[in-house]
Structure 1
Amino acid sequence: MARYFEDSRSADRYARFRPQYPGCLLDKIKDVVSGRDGGTADKNGHGETASIEDLRVVDVGCGAGGSTFFLAEAGFKEICGVDASQAQINEAKKALEKKDDDVKQRVEFRIVDCNAGLPFDRDSVDVVIVAAAMHWLEPVQFYAHVNDILRAGGYVIAFSYGFSQFQDEDLQRPFDNLSQKTLEKYWEPEIVHTFTHYKHILEPYDTCKRFTLDWNYRVTLSELINFMSSWTAYPIYCGQHPDNTILEDFEKEVRKVLQSRHQHGTTPERNGSADSSDDDPTVEFKFPLFGFAGRRPCMTSTNKLDGCVRLDVVDKAGQ
């Protein structure tokens, strides 16, 4: 896994400023493991549909624990968040201390380099979740490790989100200028996979299906600025341009647009994008949420890697 969020400052920003996942994604995860998405429902040892409360989850690349706590809301039996960053896991554990006893009993965090291995017993995990982290992993290595710990019939669900999409073109323009022009050469190569909505990341099993969801988001302008400051490209840019004012300039441009809307009587109800009625106006936009989900085939062979990890993943990786 890449090492872009390992320092304590980045981990702190990540913990405080990254958005919380929406209910529609939680519904999607529940549909996958219950078979309501058109797949095959999970079964327990008695041939009955397994309950979420019976399933053990590993949350790969959990960062500061946002996705792990999100999964805890769904009611999974156990969720173990793993991440290569000590700083991120420290933030996750601090957040866990503030949760109620039920969450504390079901959630744990470990420092794990997921490309090197997943330290869980063979066939002991029901669901592997990769939240906004699949693009940092080496698929062939990672899928081999997943195949070791995921029981036959278990699920892999990977997802992430792309750049904000504003309804108002005058708000979209300064956002695109900053994220895709000013910061263009400061994004790590792996981030390209989020630009293309994971189109070029191959899924592990033939059973996997792609999905997209609309994630409507409403925040204050200061919250949006803080979120942008948690981007991986921003500290890299700041390291080379320590006196830059790119976020301040972006904020000024947005405020100028909102002020113009206000002067012309365009209300939030009419343009559906922003509210300029106070010192910290709200802005609305959409995150494109995308990913894939599938079930590990049930195998009778003792060599569980055969027939499970798709051969085209290995073939294309070697080209």
Structure 2
Amino acid sequence: MAATIPMQQVDHFGPVAADYAGFRPRYPEGLLQWLAEHAPARRCAWDCATGSGQAAVELARRFEQVIATDISEAQLAAAIKHPSIVYRRAPAEACGLADYSVDLVTVAQALHWLDLGRFYAEVRRVLRPDGLLAVWSYGLLETDDAAINHCLRGDYHAIIQPFWPDERRHVEDGYRSLDFPFPEIRAPTFVLTADWALDDLLGYLRSWSASARYRASHGIDPVAAFGTRLAPLWGRPETRRIIRWPLSLRVGRATRRRSERSTAG
């Protein structure tokens, strides 16, 4: 019998690493600042399943050191470089960090790929007392034009819907159906925004794992044909439009262990 591969050891984004690095939206600065302010200290943050480092580079502006891990060599090769970031190829469930060495753990748009039981055990092992775990996701984008939004939802999404893995449903429900065994903290509402021309939007669509699976299955790029249909609605290709993604955020705090409470008391 073949061995079962842990979920996070499946590299969903290696084939689209360049598009991922170039076209994925940047996370709101207010989100990373809020997390830094609520962490017990700013010594070390672990950005798990970092991809090409969109969250890690913002954390590096606020923490002395950031350890950013991923299983994808292609993603890490395309990651944003920063002197305070150490990139490592490692699964989420066995990151190699020392016990109680991290003030904040972040998982951006990737919790649905992980073996949650093993990952949460790893989080408890590496977080310092009162450290934070923050996970977030974002679903379908909206532009400033209703006709473009209708085309995106009714046309492109219909074409590639069969090529999303089952785990994608957790992104759509904002991770609310996933187990999250940490005392939760109420967080503000954050929104991702971008100012994009048509080629930026099409590059983002190519960064989807479902788009890569469609290409592998059919041998053609679904984004190219969709771009032809979308162009008359967009107007001049260089026209820039505001793109928005509502962001779903869950934040929990590591409870102090009994031995630590008695020692502190």
Q: Judge same fold: TM > 0.5, yes or no.
A: yes
Q: Residues 285, 12 of structure 1: CA spacing in aligned structure 2 closer, same or farther, 3 A cutoff?
A: closer
Aligned-partner Cα distance in 1 for 2:188–2:115 = 21
List aligned pairs for 1:174-189, cutoff 5 A.
Answer: 174-189=151-166
Instruction: Indicate conservation of the 8 Å contact 2:190/2:246, yes or no.
Output: yes
Aligned to 2:190, the other structure's residue is in SS state: strand
The match for 2:244 is 286
Divergent runs of 4+, >6 A? none
Q: Residues 178, 2 of structure 1: CA spacing in aligned structure 2 closer, same or farther, 3 A cutoff?
A: farther
Q: Residues 178, 67 of structure 1: CA spacing in aligned structure 2 closer, same or farther, 3 A cutoff?
A: farther
Higher relative contact order (CA 8 A, sep 6+): 2
Alignment pair present for 1:300 and 2:251: no
The match for 1:27 is 33
Displacement, 1:204? Answer: 2.6
Aligned-partner Cα distance in 2 for 1:120–1:279 = 46
Number of aligned residues = 253
Aligned-partner Cα distance in 2 for 1:210–1:140 = 24
Aligned-partner Cα distance in 2 for 1:211–1:142 = 25
> CA deviation digits over 1:62-121, x for unaligned, max 9?
112222112112x211101001112222222xx42xxxxxx41x2101110113x12111
Displacement, 1:214? Answer: 2.2
List aligned pairs for 1:1-319, cutoff 5 A.
Answer: 1-5=8-12, 7=14, 9-33=15-39, 42=40, 50=41, 52=42, 55-73=43-61, 75-92=62-79, 95-96=80-81, 103-104=82-83, 106-115=84-93, 117-209=94-186, 212-243=189-220, 246-258=222-234, 276=235, 278-301=236-259
Aligned-partner Cα distance in 2 for 1:250–1:12 = 20
Q: Residues 243, 88 of structure 1: CA spacing in aligned structure 2 closer, same or farther, 3 A cutoff?
A: closer
Aligned-partner Cα distance in 2 for 1:174–1:107 = 39
Aligned to 2:74, the other structure's residue is in SS state: helix
Instruction: Indicate conservation of the 8 Å contact 2:99/2:127, yes or no.
Output: yes
Instruction: Indicate conservation of the 8 Å contact 2:25/2:192, yes or no.
Output: no
In structure 2, stretches of 5+ residues that fail to align are 1-7, 261-265
Instruction: Indicate conservation of the 8 Å contact 1:174/1:250, yes or no.
Output: no
Instruction: Indicate conservation of the 8 Å contact 1:32/1:293, yes or no.
Output: no
Aligned-partner Cα distance in 2 for 1:113–1:158 = 16
Displacement, 1:31? Answer: 4.2
Aligned to 2:244, the other structure's residue is in SS state: strand
Aligned-partner Cα distance in 1 for 2:257–2:173 = 33
Aligned-partner Cα distance in 2 for 1:12–1:257 = 27
Query: Percentage identity across aligned positions?
Result: 25
Q: Residues 208, 76 of structure 1: CA spacing in aligned structure 2 closer, same or farther, 3 A cutoff?
A: same
Q: Residues 175, 136 of structure 1: CA spacing in aligned structure 2 closer, same or farther, 3 A cutoff?
A: same
Q: Which amino acid aligns with 1:22?
A: P
Q: Residues 87, 12 of structure 1: CA spacing in aligned structure 2 closer, same or farther, 3 A cutoff?
A: same
Q: Residues 2, 119 of structure 1: CA spacing in aligned structure 2 closer, same or farther, 3 A cutoff?
A: closer
In structure 1, stretches of 5+ residues that fail to align are 34-41, 43-49, 97-102, 259-275, 303-319
Displacement, 1:208? Answer: 4.2
* TM norm structure 1: 0.73
- Stretch moving more, 226-235 or 204-213: 204-213
Larger Rg: 1
Aligned-partner Cα distance in 2 for 1:80–1:229 = 28
Instruction: Indicate conservation of the 8 Å contact 1:209/1:294, yes or no.
Output: no
Q: Residues 210, 29 of structure 1: CA spacing in aligned structure 2 closer, same or farther, 3 A cutoff?
A: closer
